[in-house]
Amino acid sequence: MSKRTLSTLVALLALTVVASTSAWAGGSKDATAPAKKTKLVIASDATWPPMEFVNENKEIVGFGPDMLAAISKATGVEIVIRNTAWDGIFAGLVAGDYDAISSSVTITEERKATMDFTEPYCNAGQVLVVPKGTAGVTTVADLKGKKVGAQIGTTGAIEVAKVSGVTLATYDEVGLAFADLALGRIAGVVADSPIAADFALQNAEYKSKLMIVGQPFTDEWLGLAVKKGDAATLQILNDGLAKIKADGTLDAISAKWLH
């Protein structure tokens, strides 16, 4: 075999290797690139007015649903809300039962270890609600020797448990805590400020019986929770949030439900 023929053969083999490598790399990229999502299923425990609740027409409404509708419109991605009980909502996210959670979830370092969060969308610090006419009480510590209610697993329950001398009474739903408070079975309820405002300031049954005392004693930001590592869902939701913050839509939703 001549040197020319050998050189040509070597060159052809080199080109074949390069072409094969390029084809393999291209195939690998196509195979691993995440498909663009066109629909998101988002879980929500619809028992937290005014953030998310079921109205008389059996529709899930509130701040969260309005925000998700605006995100859907801004991104062009369909969003379906699935009503999900709070006590299993995070396990369902880990299991992949839905893409995200929109349920007034406070962003905490502990939660960030097991799930990802969007940029925050609302500050909802904890406040104390007591019966109207209660004197000398502005903080949870002022209720030492008494029971203070909160929904199980929430930031409110965590904060009450920190106060020495106060007995924490937990409830599956925050509405049950406010019902007990109105009946005099407990001395106070700690809840996110939007929820406390709904019960104490807007609810026809309770606004004449309950009042918010003091100021929010935590600085808490709510975010949409996403399964750890799900960058595609996180990007869609963050893009949508950025758009509705920039054009004033989120402010309008806040004014509708929280003020």
Each residue of 89-133: pLDDT tens digit?
Answer: 999 999 999 999 999 998 999 999 999 999 999 988 999 999 999
pLDDT at 34: 58
| CA dist., res. 114 & res. 51, Å (int) | 24
- Listed in order, strand segments (DSSP E) in the chain are 39-44, 47-48, 52-54, 60-61, 78-83, 100-101, 115-117, 122-123, 126-131, 147-151, 167-171, 188-192, 210-213, 221-222, 225-227
pLDDT at 55: 94
Contact 129, 178 (CB under 8 A): yes
Q: Is the pLDDT of residue 31 over 80?
A: no
Contact 45, 85 (CB under 8 A): yes
Q: Is the pLDDT of residue 257 over 50?
A: yes
| CA dist., res. 147 & res. 160, Å (int) | 10
Peptide bond into 50 cis (omega under 30): yes
For residues 17-33, average pLDDT:
42
Contact 221, 104 (CB under 8 A): no
Q: What share of the chain is helix, strand, coil (3-state, %, to 5)?
A: 45, 20, 35
| CA dist., res. 213 & res. 127, Å (int) | 7
Lowest mean pLDDT among 3-17, 32-46, 67-81, 150-164: 3-17
Task: Please tell me if the domain spanning 39-123+221-258 has the same topology as the one spanning 126-213.
Answer: yes
Could you tell me the fold of the domain covering 126-213? D-Maltodextrin-Binding Protein; domain 2 (3.40.190)
- The DSSP letter of residue 37 is P
Sketch the domain layout of the chain as residue ranges. Answer: 39-123+221-258, 126-213
Domain 39-123+221-258 has what CATH class?
alpha beta
pTM for the full model? 0.66
CA dihedral 215, 126, 164, 173 (to 10 degrees): 140
Q: Is the pLDDT of residue 242 over 90?
A: yes
Q: Tell me the pLDDT tens digit for each residue of 168-184.
A: 999 999 999 999 999 99
For residues 134-149, average pLDDT:
97
